[in-house]
A and B are shown apart, each in its own frame.
Chain A
Amino acid sequence: MEKSLFSFIWKYSARQQIYILLVTVLSYPVVYVLLELPKLIVNDAVQGDNFPRSILGFDFDQVPYLLLLCFTFLGLVVVSNGLKFYLNVFKGRLGERMLRRLRFELFQRVLRFRLPHFRKVSSGEIIPMITSEVEDVGGFIGEAFALPAYQGGMLVVQIGFIFMQDPLLGLAAISSYPIQGYVIPYLQKRVVLLSRQRVRNIRVIADKVGESITGVAEIHANDAAAWHSADISERLYENFRIRYEIFNRKFLIKFLNNFMNQLTPFFFYLIGGYLVIEGNLSIGALLAVIAAYKDLAGPWKELLSYYQMTADVSVKYQTVVENFDPPDIHELDRLTSDEKAELSGDLKFDNVSFSGGAAGQEVMEISLTVAAGTACAIAGPDGSGRSEVLQLAAGLVSPSSGKICIGDHDLDKLTDSTLGREIAYVGGAVHVWTGTIRDNLYYGLRHRPLILPERDGEALKQYKRRVSEAKETRNPLYDLEAVWDDLEAAGADSIHTLDEKALELLEAVGLDKDIYRLGLQSRFDPSMDDTFAGKILNVRKNLADRILHEPALEGLVELWHPDRFNASANLADNLFFAVPSDPEITMDQVPEMEEVRAFLTETGLDEKLRKVGLKIAETMLELFSNVSGDSGLLGAYSFITQEEIPEFERIVRIAKSTQQRPGLSDADKSRLRGLAFKLVPARHRLGIMTDELRDEIIAARKRFLDSVVKHNPGFVAFDPDVYLPPLTIEDNLLFGRARVDRRDARRRIDDVIRTIVEETGLRRPIIYAGFGYHVGVSGSRLSAGQRRRIALVRGLLKNAKITILDDIATGTTEDDKALRRGLQEILSGKTFLFGTSNAEIAAEFDQRFVLDQGRISDKG
């Protein structure tokens, strides 16, 4: 990578820089004329005589002459500002493009680092380098050549003018330049050093903050917050100290510059005055020189700040770039090549040594052969070199000496396009990407965009623009919206067969039940697949039938019925009998929606619910006011929490008082209403739910349906014959509530649902719906075991010729044993390396290599 900022700028934008320069020079005469015209207008057009003036053969009287000059002036103002605008946009665009190129190059270099290099760098340091630290470079690039050329030119012209008036005065004008030229860079050098320190210090701070976030549980568990606070505080002080020093120097430079600039007139007055007195210089010339000198200050100041900025930005560029240029970085080709070699043949280690840079990470002179299509265990405790051998076999790390071949191919000479497609490697520390389960399962098939989407009209235009910008900045042209899943590699001919294959593998690793549960909890859009929705509705009917006719199930569930009150559901569900179309809106928020509030007030329900809420509040206060907060009784059973008790005491007091003021505020009323909505009559036997109220709610339900739900797309009404997209699949299957007053009703009904789902062949579609489950940041919504299994399926789905597993499925339970047998079966006929620290597990394999302290100690 280009070591210096200017070689980077020149290499990638020489043409544009020259263009900027040319346009700048072009604007020169315009600016010059613009400065001259006012003088002409005042001196010649306003104060002049002997009209008319003759221009290009036309004669102009005084007023037309004035008009001509003024309109010329106006025209030039437009032209000069237009040029400036154009130039600024051009420079800005150039800067942004160069910045994009630089950032992408940096990211691509991160991808080209060898794995052991990541032991030395941390993401906390790399991220600010690519994001914030290079930001200033973009703003600078447009000015890099044009500014010094323009301002330098101005300076030279002005100095030339002074020299023409009098060489001696000219010398006086530039007398301070040598001193400034010596002192300022000297001071600046120190600033540059400090800037470097500052950048490094900030990186460490970023890294420490990042580390604190990842290890926050450790901080609390060890009461180490004070230590970390002290650490960061120390770094912040360091930052303050460096910045303070930088300020000092910067302002010192400014001070010196200003001082020198004002020192020069001293010489003018002294020398020029003497020359005028002696009669060697006219007074007019002296005044002109002094005026010219004043004009000199502008460009000089600009150049100085340009100089400071260059120094600053160059340092930033260098301190970033030097981190992205390790000597052993992979060739670019390793990343971008799309050529795939067939890796068939035996896997052979020939005197391979490797050192990971720490004890227990070495491999010494290992030679071994695993015949193509056989399974082999690599056994050895952690630190025996087992993981290193497996990573070497996957081509993830390169040997320091010796050679690893598969067939005729030396792994070290292959690109990612072969290694990443022909070998499936799943190591002990798996990573699950933020996204859906499907994204993660098919991650190993997404090497290149395969089928480009068809675009027309505006979309095509946007796409073309994207592509041309990418070309402009040497970014890749891969289309993110294309189909990336390589079905062929997985041995599937359509996305359906791929789903089936994935399901088979999920079953083999025992993850299908988990995904099924996730599928039940997920929502799906019936417009995507209405046969599925139809089947779910069938199951719903089937289930309702069984519940009605099977004595064992009877009474376990209360189904939603438009004319019946559901005692196992809360008042909100019973009243609204609908759900918001947006699943993000919870039932708690519904009463606060504008149209719902209006409905409640209009029907007078508002008042009734408030009374119900008040009764609940009173009972709760009576029951729980003597209970202490830490007993666990409150919260788990009560409608209100310990913190809310004083609040509700106040509300009840006000509501009970006969005085008009202070009345209940809107917030108080909504709290009481909220309590009422939470009431589940079958669970909370408070005697509030009278038959009368029950009928009233059923009647209100109908009115709500007619007046609000029917013409409001924000709600979907409960309807036994309709699939409700905002509800989960499970809630759609069981269209009701498990009764809270029957023991184990939920579990028993779940069993029934499972059998019906299996009988009707719905299990598969539900699992596929579970593929759309979002796993959270880095799979945080999955358990560690689930993450490992997903990574395992991802590896298996690649259908690679060589599969390498390290520390995966190495349990000693019967399930794990079965899983290993299953793996051997799935991978039969393919090369399979299985890393484990347990010799007993290794014995399940026909072929074994046992590692100890980096050497093969036993084989079998």
Chain B
Amino acid sequence: MSEAVIKCENVYKIFGTNAQKMLQEANGNVDAKTFQENGCIVGVNDASFEVSKGEMLVVMGLSGSGKSTLLRCISRLTDATGGKIFIEGQDLLKLNNKELINLRRNKMGMVFQSFALLPHKTVVENIAFPLQIKGIKTENSISKAMDMVKLVGLDGRENYFPRELSGGQQQRVGIARSLAVEPDIWFLDEPFSALDPLIRKEMQDEFLRLQEKLQKTIMFITHDFDEALKLADRIAIMKDGIIEQLDTPANIVLNPATEYVKKFTEEVPREKVLTIEDVMDKTNSESSDLKVLKDEIIENVAEKILTQEKSVSVIDQDNKIVGSINPSKIIQTVFGGRKSNS
């Protein structure tokens, strides 16, 4: 496995005047209640994880769970109270102001929930802004920004002002701006939360298309579990500053680690999340002629499998049989086991 692009070790963020001192005294055992009694609020509590190159980690949690705070620690918009954060091996908390600015100018891009566009600049000027801040000549930055405008499909609107655009279009500008410096690391803080459901779906698809093309290392924040399932390589579920579970979507749905996580998974249409591989039997029993690919989402092949009476063989990309699946298993996955996880 390649080296982690983002690496967090025991990151804490505690708000309050005595935070530093109290954290030292707590000695790694931070209890939100005792801290609150002393006038401190725990934002992030002992977060450790890695994100490897090209991976998309979605941090999911309800409001106040500390997900945005965690992201701001990693982008160092706020300083973590304790722990270590490494960006491509560099210790983020040890960087001085100049190095930090350099890192942001070349390595990081960020998209915000409320778009955060500059109201006095046009679409193309907004996108060119990070480039101009770097000191790139106006002409070059504008032509680069025009490429970005095309990438997010806003051609023809490059001279509009943010006030003249719809929410979805504004967020396209936000996305284009964050990509203008061609960063390796891409932070997205609830980018689609402020949009209408239909636009949101459209933007999610667009986002997946972009990621297919660009292969960035991504931290994506959302409060929408469905969105997390749709986009993530891995999901981290946060509650009260603590990461409750960090795993692939399928594993989270199949094996929720805590009661809290389970509450989210109960309502999830499993056939839309799980692949054949997740539910197949590893043994190869007697089977019909039909073969299905192990990476298929259940929903897409369920109808085909249910027409068969016997089990269906499961194959991998190389056409090798790796297991089988019985039609009854499909029915069980779709309808059964919602209440109790069998």
Task: Report if A and B associate in a common complex.
Answer: no
Binding site for B on A (CB under 8 A): none
